[in-house]
Amino acid sequence: MATDTATANATTNASAPQVDLSRTQIRKRAPTGERRRSFRTGPELRVCVVGLGYIGLPTASLLGTKGCQVHGVDVSPDVVETINAGRIHIEEPDLDLLVKSAVQAGRLKAHHTPVEADVFVLAVPTPIMADKQPDLTMVEAAARSILPVVRKGNLVILESTSPVGTTDGVVARILREAGHNVGEEVFVAYCPERVLPGRILTELVENDRIVGGVNDNSTEVALEFYQSFVRGEVIGTDSRSAEMVKLSENSFRDVNIAFANELSMICARAGISVWEVIRLANRHPRVNILQPGPGVGGHCIAVDPWFIVASDPSHARLIRAAREVNDHKPHWVIERVRQCASQVREPVIACLGLSFKADVDDLRESPAAEIVRELQRANLGELLIVEPHLLFHPEFELTRLEDAVAKANIVLVLVDHKPFKKLRREALHEKLLIDTRGLYL
Ligand code: SAJ
């Protein structure tokens, strides 16, 4: 397809034609050959979900409760065992109930290897390497793992956040190389997940979804599958656009949080409350500034923008700058702690929160955890670490909120967890407060 080639060459050929935006409308035509099977969810549909993490497991259990026969695949023996026992290995509201009911109804089974199915959903991690280049080895491995069981008429969907070109250049390529007629006999599409950790089960069903096939047949088949269980609108496009949509969503948020974080550092230097400034600026009908924090964490927003930067470094200047601002923020916070610690004789620092955002137990890419680790190394005083979402952590010794605050002379707020909001303000009396979330204004 000429437009795709033009996009692929964009980094090396500045005069290459731009992406053809008129392709967003999908032509409705039935796949060639025999009448194909239905891809609507129900007892007839066999679904194989590869990767049972934060996206794969909720998806697998939801499809199980919709009556599909779901076979989940994970490389971890612990994960497989836990799920088959009807339990879960991650914290997410109501997921335990959903998994239990799907497993007990015999609709969800976990295993180490894929089996024959009608639909394959690949939901594996796509991290970045130390040099900020995407690591697609798990997508490749997932695509190769289904090769022995893929049959004519199957639909293969990639849900992992991926650089533009991955669905066609990795997943479809592997299937083609194995002799499959992709687009005519085996359908391949990209459908990015869009759920917010903490609200996964609601958003899995309610959010609009974007579905992009490697050709029109594939888009059409994938649309039918998602439309049968998603209440939001499911919109078709091509796979490269769908990949870029996902990266744009998270880069949009990263850039906007970077703006808030930059503002917070400028306001602090000027002796102005950034929270007051944002609250008042947001009274303008066309202004909506996000909230500053200790940095940006999680495995999505702090990672995905790098996929765009890696693909076109000369143009992705704003996206890169935003990443740098957000990555710098934890260091700025540590510097503030250092200044406070130098003002008291025996610093006792209560660090409130370790997770990457409020009301979750997830420490991945968490700026809060990064800051606490650095404070441990810097040895500025006694550290009392509070994380109400964890009972125990091998790396951090945890203290109760009230005890930590009572004993501390410096209180460092890193996460805006609900229990922290309930703290009596008098408890903070005569303590130095570094409130990176604006919790105790
Ligand atoms: N954050 C701020 N200030 C804000 C909002 C967020 O500092 O005003 C911080 C959070 O504390 C956290 C980070 O940003 O450290 C990311 O949190 P988040 O709640 O914005 O997003 P995630 O990473 O939990 O989920 C995002 C979502 N993407 C968007 O909102 C565009 C979600 O819909 C995606 O499905 C998910 O990434 C993903 O998997 O890509």
C-alpha separations of 124 from 21, 84, 164, 169 in Å:
29, 19, 16, 17
Rounded CA separation 225/38 (Å): 8
User: Residues 100-109: what's their mean pLDDT?
Assistant: 96
Residues 221 and 301 in one domain: no
Specify the ligand 1 atom closest to the Cα of 367: 15
User: Residues 43-65: what's their mean pLDDT?
Assistant: 96
**Residue 50: closest CA among 70, 72, 80, 68:** 72
Residues 41 and 186 in one domain: yes
Number of domains in the chain: 2
* Mutation choice for ligand 1 from 161, 209, 301, 415, CB with most ligand atoms inside 8 A: 301
Residue 238 lies in a domain: no
pLDDT of residue 246: 98
Q: How many CB atoms lie within 10 A of CB 180?
A: 20
Pair of tokens at residue 8: 């692929």
Tell me, in angstroms, the distance from the centre of ligand 1 to residue 400's CA.
27
Residue 357 confidence (pLDDT) above 90: yes
Residues 200 and 297 in one domain: no
pLDDT tens sequence across 307-352: 999 999 999 999 999 999 999 999 999 999 999 999 999 999 999 9
Domain boundary among 215, 232, 249: 232
Domain boundary among 192, 214, 232: 232
Residues 218 and 295 in one domain: no
Confidence tier at 364 by pLDDT (50, 70, 90):
confident
Rounded CA separation 249/438 (Å): 25
Residues 226 and 370 in one domain: no
Residue 11 confidence (pLDDT) above 60: no
Rounded CA separation 193/123 (Å): 9
User: Residues 384-391: what's their mean pLDDT?
Assistant: 96
Parallel, antiparallel, or unpaired: how do β-strands 119-122 and 46-50 relate? parallel
Higher pLDDT, 14 or 57: 57
Q: How many CB atoms lie within 10 A of CB 131?
A: 7
Tell me, in angstroms, the distance from the centre of ligand 1 to residue 299's CA.
9
For helices 95-104 and 56-65, the axis angle rounded to 10 degrees is 50
Residue 273 lies in a domain: no
Residue 22 confidence (pLDDT) above 80: no
Residues 306 and 176 in one domain: no
Residue 275 lies in a domain: no
pLDDT of residue 34: 52
Residue 263 lies in a domain: no
Residue 366 lies in a domain: yes
Indicate the DSSP class of residue 359.
T
Residues 65 and 132 in one domain: yes
Q: Is 322 helix (H, G, I), strand (E, B) or coil?
A: helix
Confidence tier at 13 by pLDDT (50, 70, 90):
very low
Residues 11 and 154 in one domain: yes
* Mutation choice for ligand 1 from 357, 365, 435, CB with most ligand atoms inside 8 A: 357
Residue 317 lies in a domain: yes
Give the 3-state secondary structure of 389-408. Answer: CCCCCCCCCECCHHHHHHHC
Residue 407 bears catalytic tag: no
Residue 340 lies in a domain: yes
Parallel, antiparallel, or unpaired: how do β-strands 348-352 and 382-386 relate? parallel
**Residue 228: closest CA among 119, 123, 139, 346:** 119
pLDDT tens sequence across 226-279: 999 999 999 999 999 999 999 999 999 999 999 999 999 999 999 999 999 999
| Bridge partners for 147 per DSSP | none
Rounded CA separation 2/24 (Å): 15
pLDDT tens sequence across 159-205: 999 999 999 999 999 999 999 999 999 999 999 999 998 899 999 99
Residues 385 and 300 in one domain: yes
Domain boundary among 187, 207, 232: 232
Residue 42 lies in a domain: yes
- Expressed as residue numbers, the domain containing 372 is 291-435
Residue 312 neighbours by CB under 8 Å, 6+ apart: 10, 11
Contact 250, 61 (CB under 8 A): no
pLDDT tens sequence across 124-148: 999 999 999 999 999 999 999 999 9
Residue 66 bears catalytic tag: no
Residues 400 and 297 in one domain: yes
User: Residues 55-59: what's their mean pLDDT?
Assistant: 96
Rounded CA separation 364/354 (Å): 10
CATH number reported for the structural domain that contains residue 57 in this entry? 3.40.50.720
Query: Atom 28, ligand 1: which residue's CA is nearest?
Result: 250
pLDDT of residue 42: 94
